[in-house]
Structure 1
């Protein structure tokens, strides 16, 4: 017999449509108001709509076994059921409303009163719902969609090692040093001994020198301003690493470095046929037809940060000058909406996905499975700056890709720390 009953909020099912199978042999209860909210989302042509349709089909399939309001056994051993919200509840009086959130809390309280021998827990990704619930019932966040727990550190891609001067001398003379421990492939190490230092990358038990980037070189007119940027360029220029992830706060140069590297390898060296740049500000799957103008005009406001970086790289004075320059690059640079990436195969291109922290895990997978032969894809973003209502620093698509792919030889990651936009930008990124 189950010891707990988990009452699921709508946002849990919209974030993870398989959430009903994530609570072991404990019982699951879905308030009927949640079913109504799911129904209102089914027509959306984005990730939320897809998940609403998926969980609706799952629930309908369960009906083949019996009536949901009477309870149906799940493959996990628990019982799933639905329940109407009470018409009169102290919750409505306390908050002076009968909104859907209040109805879900009221339903949870009613279930607790009916099951005094069990622990009833409301699971919601909405912080304020959990805060309000604390007055009446136990409330928890949904953690199964998180790649990391809040106690885990994000993978940075680099380790700072204090070593002896002899180790650094051996590293420079023999071009390798036995690693003190095992790291993921393409992991970086910064060796330090007083004023002596060396940059290394991990390979097969050894720390070896960087091989793609000379400190004095410029990458399409710019050079690294700090050690982490130099390591980022190492990954961006390495054609043996087709998947690169860069996480950083605003102003650290992550997008600028990606664009500069893509232009050098595509425009100058001809390693790739085209550059495709996009951002998930326009939700994947949702048309941009509600904005006025042609597609380029619609995309311009969303993609302005990309144009700002290109303006800097091309040393333009204004948008008009940039537009004139881009006309000569129209066969090379494509700035596109993620809306149209599903179903495509993208070979021989350098692909940049900016603001990747606003991707869901499913969207990240959709994008990466479009990458064709000879292509390179770079995901950049700030996991601490989430705009998506159902994501956080531990469950977003960028964090998901970083953690799941860090042990693969074809992937590399680096976290940028120091802001280079301006002292003001760095200060604001740190303390605001």
Structure 2
């Protein structure tokens, strides 16, 4: 949550929250344990302006305002400025510090180059005043705006930090890929193996030392291309692997699509496994995430009849044109954002005599629905395959909103490329996609696969590796 540099100062710290922190996590003020939280008045003004907008963050603004009101509603003006105990907030939290509102409207323009006409500058100036007032205690300005952190440091803030409560790893290179690859041949390295046959499936039990960092549904392959399995169970001593068969996996077929490498084969295996409630696909642009997800969804809905419909969704970035200004129905408005899906449909049916007729037929037969993530709240999705694209641009709370919508007989496929984040306030390690990969990596009914390698074209592969 905070940098180590602040830990050497006084044990009692003061955290000043920027507006984007409360939009990212409306209950963020409850995540600072015994320390004191201060919110400048200008932050409340910004939340008030945002709460009535038709943006996806308007809900977060309203939740933040209601939560703050719950803490402060019975306090006097003097108590609000001094700090109100957070212990009065009901619910599961560890906060026992205080929450205060700083009246930054009383600030006067100083010799600083920061103009108080800008809200960011008012927040920085408030932080500087609080730092002066509470010295030598550590006063930390918390913001997800990288440029604001730089300006605050330049203006004289000693401690400036990002909000890290929902950051589970410090380096994106530590993020699980969903599989473990042995060097050389698997059978030459495992030593003693016990094998049990159950119908058509073979299960190998190996010592835990072979896979010390194991988790449920982790795929296990080797460099020779002779072994492919998935972790079925484990304890402190042994790991049980379900033998999937390398050649069998490479022969998977979903709506005419076959894997081009073992990583796509692992993805298809997870996608077609109806016991998997959620499949997370990560990887570079051109690795086949969207195409594999759509082909598996069509196979399970149209050919196998396991699910009744396909719901395709993604968020509509605020940096782009608002969906409300586009003409047509919700699905027509979403068309520009979900062009990757329609492009994939065209690829799957490019050999048909009349591609347009085929696409219209499949859209109706598979009951493919395009939905904006902004309108998914409050819904209960049943008997469907839900494809969530471009998930790297979502926060953990936004992903939680969608995941909790999934009801009986629903499969959620989450895909994204952590190298293509469009959000101003998210990085690869703070993205909601990274968060759910780590949170669900040992959930028995989900699987994660990182699709190594670009299969779109040699041009796309060169760009991914060299640009």
Structure 1 stretches (4+) deviating beyond 6 angstroms?
168-174
Question: In the TM superposition, what is the alpha-carbon distance from 1:2 to its structure 2 partner?
Answer: 5.5
Which residue of 2 is the match for residue 100 of structure 1? 119
Task: Identify the range of structure 1 (117-126 vs 392-401) with the bigger mean alpha-carbon deviation.
Answer: 392-401
SS across alignment from 1:219: coil
Question: In the TM superposition, what is the alpha-carbon distance from 1:317 to its structure 2 partner?
Answer: 8.8
SS across alignment from 1:117: coil
Which residue of 1 is the match for residue 163 of structure 2? 142
| 1:109 and 2:128 matched | yes
Which residue of 1 is the match for residue 293 of structure 2? 258
Which residue of 2 is the match for residue 181 of structure 1? 211
TM-score, length-scaled by structure 1? 0.89
Question: In the TM superposition, what is the alpha-carbon distance from 1:34 to its structure 2 partner?
Answer: 1.2
**CA distance in structure 2 between the partners assigned to 1:258 and 1:196 by the alignment:** 24
| 1:66 and 2:94 matched | no
Task: Identify the range of structure 1 (268-277 vs 124-133) with the bigger mean alpha-carbon deviation.
Answer: 268-277
Residues 390-401 of structure 1 aligned to structure 2 (within 5 Å): 390-401=425-436
**CA distance in structure 2 between the partners assigned to 1:370 and 1:61 by the alignment:** 27
Question: In the TM superposition, what is the alpha-carbon distance from 1:366 to its structure 2 partner?
Answer: 2.3
**CA distance in structure 2 between the partners assigned to 1:32 and 1:260 by the alignment:** 51
Question: In the TM superposition, what is the alpha-carbon distance from 1:199 to its structure 2 partner?
Answer: 1.0
**CA distance in structure 2 between the partners assigned to 1:247 and 1:27 by the alignment:** 38
Q: 1:70 to 1:188 in 2, by over 3 A?
A: same
Which residue of 1 is the match for residue 231 of structure 2? 202
Question: In the TM superposition, what is the alpha-carbon distance from 1:201 to its structure 2 partner?
Answer: 0.9
Task: Identify the range of structure 1 (37-46 vs 245-254) with the bigger mean alpha-carbon deviation.
Answer: 37-46
Question: In the TM superposition, what is the alpha-carbon distance from 1:381 to its structure 2 partner?
Answer: 0.8
Q: 1:169 to 1:216 in 2, by over 3 A?
A: farther
TM-score, length-scaled by structure 2? 0.83
SS across alignment from 1:65: coil
Question: In the TM superposition, what is the alpha-carbon distance from 1:164 to its structure 2 partner?
Answer: 6.0
Question: In the TM superposition, what is the alpha-carbon distance from 1:394 to its structure 2 partner?
Answer: 2.5
SS across alignment from 2:147: helix
| 1:190 and 2:221 matched | yes
| 1:155 and 2:176 matched | yes
Q: 1:295 to 1:71 in 2, by over 3 A?
A: closer
Question: In the TM superposition, what is the alpha-carbon distance from 1:356 to its structure 2 partner?
Answer: 1.7
SS across alignment from 2:57: helix
Is contact 1:8-1:122 (8 Å) kept?
Answer: yes
Is contact 2:31-2:165 (8 Å) kept?
Answer: yes
RMSD: 2.8
| 1:387 and 2:425 matched | no
Is contact 2:229-2:245 (8 Å) kept?
Answer: no
| Structure 2: 5+ residue stretches without partners | 1-9, 88-94, 197-201, 234-238
**CA distance in structure 2 between the partners assigned to 1:379 and 1:128 by the alignment:** 30
Which residue of 1 is the match for residue 3 of structure 2? none
